[in-house]
Chains A and B, each alone.
Chain A
Amino acid sequence: MSIPQEHDYIGLSEPLQSEKLSYKMAAAAEGVTPSLNAEKVGVFNLKETELRLGLPGSEAPERKGGIGIGVSLFGKELKDESMCVKNFVSGAKRGFSDAINGAGKWGLSIHGGSAADLGGNGGPNLKEEIPAVKAVEERKNEASITAPASKAQVVGWPPIRSFRKNTLATNTPKKDDVAGKSGSGCLYVKVSMDGAPYLRKINLKTYCSYAEISSALENMFSCFTIGQCGQGLAAKEHLSESHLMDLLHGSEYVLTYEDKDGDWMLVGDVPWEMFTDSCRRLRIMKGSDAIGLAPRTMQKSKSQN
C-alpha cells in the first residue's frame, strides 16, 4: 500500500480499515470533534481515553483538557519540546499539516504502511523516529521490518505451520556474540502507556542501559503526557523541558515490563542483559496502578498532593 505524497485530509478519511486512526486525526485537524460512528472509531473508543485527538487549542466540547496528540509526535516539533508547547498554546492547526509534511511519508497509516513507504523521505531529524514508526506496524514480521528489501509475503509460503511461526517470532536466540553469526540483532517489544490510544514498538537491542531506554521512552511518549497538565497550560505560557521530564519521572508514571513468566516487574532491578533477555513487553503504568510495584512512587504523589 502506498501513501500519497499530497495529503488530502478529507480524502484520507476514505474508510480503509488500516487507516481508522488517521481518519480520526484528520477530522481532528479540521477542528471538528470526531463524531464518528462506532465502526469508524474501530478499536479506539476516544471517549474512554483521557487523551483527545484534537489539536492543541482546538475547541472540541468533549475535551477535558486533552492534548494535541500524535501528529506532533512525529513532527519536527518532537525534537524541540518548547516548540511543541508553543503550538499547543497557540492552538494553531498547523501542527498537523506541517508535521505531516515535515514527516514526509510516515503517513497516517499506522497499520498499513510498509517499511518501504515509511522510510526515506522524512527530514533528517526524523530519521530517529522512522524506525520506531515502522515498528508500530504490528502484523509485520520483525525481519521484514529491518530488511528494507523484504519481499511481499506469499500466503502460506514458505510452508511453515503457524504454530511454529508464532513460536519463532517470540524466540530470542541467546547467541554468543563472539561467534559473530547472531541473528537479526533486533528485539522488538511493544510499549504501551496507560491512556495512550496506540502502542509503540522499540528495539531493545539498540539500547545499552536503563538510562538510554528511559530517555528514549520519554521522548516517545512525552507528548501524551502534555495532556496531563493541559488544564494548567491555559495559565502557563511555557512548559519547560524539565517539567516534562518531571511528569514522567514523577508521580504519574512507572515503567514496568512483562517477563517471560508473564509477571509484571518494575524496570531497573536486574542487570541490563537479564532484562533484555526476559522482557516481553513494556508498559508505562499510571502511578496509581503501580501499587506494590513502586512504593516510592506513591509517596511522591502523596507529597505532591
Chain B
Amino acid sequence: MAYSFPEEVLEHVFSFLSLARDRNAVSLVCKSWYEIERWCRHRIFVGNCYAVSPEIVIRRFPELRAVEMKGKPHFADFNLVPEGWGAYAYPWIAAMAEAYPFLEEIKLKRMVVTDESLELISKSYKNFKVLVLTSCEGFTTDGLASIAANCRHLRELDLRESEVEDLSGHWLSHFPDSCTSLVSLNMSCLGSEVSFSSLERLVARSPNLRTLRLNRAVPLEKLANLVRHAPQLVELGTGAYSSEIRSDTFSSLADAFSACKQLKALSGFWDVVPSYLPAVYSVCSGITSLNLSYAAIPSSDLVKLISQCQNLQRLWVLDYIEDSGLEALAASCKDLQELRVFPSDPFGAEPNVSLTEQGLVSVSEGCPKLESVLYFCRQMSNAALIAIARNRPNFIRFRLCIIEPQAADYLTLEPLDAGFGAIVENCKELRRLSMSGLLTDRVFKYIGTHAKKLEMLSIAFAGESDLGLHHVLSGCDSLRKLEIRDCPFGDKAVLANAAKLDTMRSLWMSSCSVSFGACKLLAQKMPRLNVEVIDERGPPDSRPESCVVERVYVYRTVASRQRLDMPDFVWTLDEDSSMRYS
C-alpha cells in the first residue's frame, strides 16, 4: 500500500492529542506511529517514579518539555512510610539536565528534592518556566534562591505544602529586577519573613501575575499594598489575617480588594480576626474557591462570609463551621462542588465543636452539584450515609474520616457496612473512596460488586478476613491504587489476585497480615511487580517465613526491581529468588 501520510502530517495530527491516554493508544497502532508519536511527545506524567527509569524515559521520548512525577505512596503523608525510603528527584533531574536542555516544566509530588537538584534545574534549562513542588521535602530556601536568581523566564514557582528548611527569607530578593514573567507564586508553606520591599517590587513588576499565595509572616497591614499592585490577581492567599483593629487598615484593605475584579480564589487566613473579614466582601460574589482551613473562627463569622459567596464551588474549612454553618452553606451555595471539613482538634478526647453527620447530610441535600467530599467527624450512622448516597448519586470522590477508629453506627451500634454500601451502590461514577468506622467483610463485598469505576480506595482498621480484600481485588475493575493499614488481610487474598496487581499502579499494606513468605512468592510469580518489604526490625529472613511483615508496597515497574537507592529497611526479591537488600 503506497498511501501513507508523510510523517509531518501525522505529527501535526498528533499535536492535537493532549491526553496521555490518547497518545498511548496512538503509539500502539503500528511501529511507525509509535516512532512518530514518541518524537513529538512533549509532556509526560509518571505516576510512580520507580515504575520506570530516567534512561527508559529519555530513550523513548527525546523531546520532552514538561515532566510531572509522583514519588512516595499517599500514606507517606501520614508518616507511615519511614524516613529515607526513597523518591529522590536528583537522579531524574541530573539525567534530564543532559537530555532535555529545553525542558520548561517540572512538577513533583511527594519527592525528596535537594538544593543541589534545584541548583541544577536553575542552571541547566535556559527556558525553564514552571516549578511545582507538592508535598516535597529535602530542600532549603537556598535552593529557592538559585531558582529565583537563575531562571530568567520563570513563570510559576509553587511550593504547595512542601517542607522547606527555612534558613531565611532572603531567597526572594534573588529575583533579578529583569524578571517580569511571573504568573504564579505560592510560598504559603514557608515560615520566615521575606523582605517586604523585595516582594512588593516583584509583584509590581509582574503584570502577568495571576496567583499569589503569601506565607503567614506577611502581615495584614501590608497586604493592601501588595494587592494594589496586582488588581489582575485571580488567586490570592493572604498572610496572617490579624491586626489591631484600625479603621484605616480596614478601609485600605477593603479598597484594595474592591479593585480586584478577577479574583476567584482566596486562601491563607491564618490567625483570623473576624472584624477584618468584611474587607473581602466586595469580591465574594465572584469567588469560586475559598480555603478557610486555617481560619480558627466561630461558625457565625464563617457563615457571614460564605453566604456572600453565591458562586462558591470549592470550600475548605475547619469544623468550627459546625452543623449549623453547613446548613447555611447548603442554603446559599448552590454551585458547590467540593467540600472539605478538617478537624480543629483531632486528638482531643471530647468533641470541641458541634459538627456531626448532620452537617454532611444537609450539604448533600442542598447542593446538587456536590461531587467531592472530605469530611472529618466524630459520629456517623448508616441512616445518614444512606441519605447522603440517595441525595447525591453524583459523587466522584467520597472520603469520610470518623476520628475514632472502628467507630460503629452511633445510633444502632452496628457496623457501617450498609451506609458505605449505599454510597457505592448509588454513586456509580465514584472514583475515589476512603472509609472509616466499624466495617466488616460485607462492605467489601458491596464495593467489589458495585464500585466498578473506583480507581483509588483507602482502608483503615476495617474488615475481618482475607475475603474482604479478595472482594475488592476481584471486583473493582478500574482499581489503580489500593492502600490499606491495620486490617486483617493476608496472604490468601493477595496471592489469589496476583494478576490483578499487574493492572494497578500500586498496593500498600501496613500493619496487616501478609507474611514474608507470601511476599517472596508474589515476587517470584509476578516478574513485573516490585514487591518491597519495608520492615524496620531487621532482615526478614532472620525470622520465619510465616512471620508477618510490617509493611509491603507492591507496584508494577519496567525498571529494575533492585532500585539502587534502597535504604536498609527495604527488601526486594533478588533475581536469584532470594530476598536481598542493597
Residues of A within 8 A of B345 (CB): 143, 168, 183-184
Residues of A within 8 A of B189 (CB): 163
Kindly state whether residue B308 has any CB partner on chain A within 8 Å: no
Complex partner residue of A144 from B273, B342, B347, B485, CB under 8 angstroms: B347
Complex partner residue of A181 from B271, B347, B353, CB under 8 angstroms: B353
Bound: A68/B405 CA distance, A? 47
Contact B274 A141 (CB under 8 A): no
Bound: A183/B407 CA distance, A? 23
Bound: A214/B55 CA distance, A? 65
What does the 1/0 interface line of B311-350 toward A look like (CB < 8 Å)? 0000000001010000000000000000000111111111
Contact B78 A156 (CB under 8 A): yes
What does the 1/0 interface line of B155-170 toward A look like (CB < 8 Å)? 0000001010000000
Residues of A within 8 A of B161 (CB): 161, 163
Cβ of A184 to closest chain B Cβ, rounded Å = 6
What does the 1/0 interface line of B199-232 toward A look like (CB < 8 Å)? 0000000000000000001010000000000000
Task: Specify the chain A residue showing the minimal Cβ separation from B295.
Answer: A171
Category for how many chain B residues contact A? 35 or more
Cβ of B217 to closest chain A Cβ, rounded Å = 7
Cβ of A264 to closest chain B Cβ, rounded Å = 14
Residues of B within 8 A of A141 (CB): 347
Residue with the highest number of chain B CB atoms closer than 10 Å, among A147, A168, A274? A168
The 5 closest A-B pairs by CB, nearest first: A156-B78, A173-B296, A143-B348, A147-B349, A141-B347
**A interface secondary structure, majority:** loop
Bound: A161/B347 CA distance, A? 13
Contact A173 B349 (CB under 8 A): no
Complex partner residue of B273 from A149, A150, A156, A174, CB under 8 angstroms: A174
Kindly state whether residue A302 has any CB partner on chain B within 8 Å: no
What does the 1/0 interface line of A252-272 toward B look like (CB < 8 Å)? 000000001110000000000
Bound: A141/B244 CA distance, A? 29
Category for how many chain A residues contact B? 35 or more
Contact A164 B342 (CB under 8 A): yes
List which A118-147 residues lie within 8 A (CB) of chain B. Answer: 141, 143-144, 147
Residues of B within 8 A of A160 (CB): 78, 342-343, 346, 376
Kindly state whether residue A64 has any CB partner on chain B within 8 Å: no
Cβ of B79 to closest chain A Cβ, rounded Å = 5
Contact A150 B163 (CB under 8 A): no
What does the 1/0 interface line of B293-315 toward A look like (CB < 8 Å)? 11011101000000000000000
Bound: A160/B346 CA distance, A? 9
Query: What is the interface of chain A, defined by CB distance below 8 A to chain B?
Result: 141, 143-144, 147, 149-151, 153-165, 167-168, 171-176, 179, 181-184, 260-262, 274, 277
10 contacts between A and B (CB under 8 A): A141-B347, A143-B349, A150-B348, A159-B77, A159-B78, A160-B343, A161-B78, A175-B296, A184-B352, A262-B193
Bound: A155/B298 CA distance, A? 30
Cβ of A144 to closest chain B Cβ, rounded Å = 5
Contact B296 A150 (CB under 8 A): no
What does the 1/0 interface line of B369-393 toward A look like (CB < 8 Å)? 0000000100000000000000000
Task: Specify the chain A residue showing the minimal Cβ separation from B348.
Answer: A143
Kindly state whether residue B242 has any CB partner on chain A within 8 Å: yes
Kindly state whether residue B408 has any CB partner on chain A within 8 Å: no
Contact A171 B401 (CB under 8 A): no
Complex partner residue of B80 from A156, A168, A174, A261, CB under 8 angstroms: A156
Bound: A179/B405 CA distance, A? 30
Cβ of A146 to closest chain B Cβ, rounded Å = 8
Kindly state whether residue B135 has any CB partner on chain A within 8 Å: yes
Known contacts A161-B77, A262-B193; is A183 also within 8 Å of B274 by CB?
no
Kindly state whether residue B49 has any CB partner on chain A within 8 Å: no
Residues of B within 8 A of A163 (CB): 135, 161, 163, 189
Residues of A within 8 A of B405 (CB): 154, 157
Cβ of B189 to closest chain A Cβ, rounded Å = 7
Cβ of A189 to closest chain B Cβ, rounded Å = 15
Contact A171 B300 (CB under 8 A): no
Bound: A164/B401 CA distance, A? 15
Cβ of A62 to closest chain B Cβ, rounded Å = 36
Bound: A163/B161 CA distance, A? 7
Contact A158 B403 (CB under 8 A): yes
Cβ of A180 to closest chain B Cβ, rounded Å = 10
Residues of A within 8 A of B342 (CB): 160, 164
Complex partner residue of A151 from B219, B274, B349, CB under 8 angstroms: B349
Contact B343 A167 (CB under 8 A): no
Bound: A28/B217 CA distance, A? 44
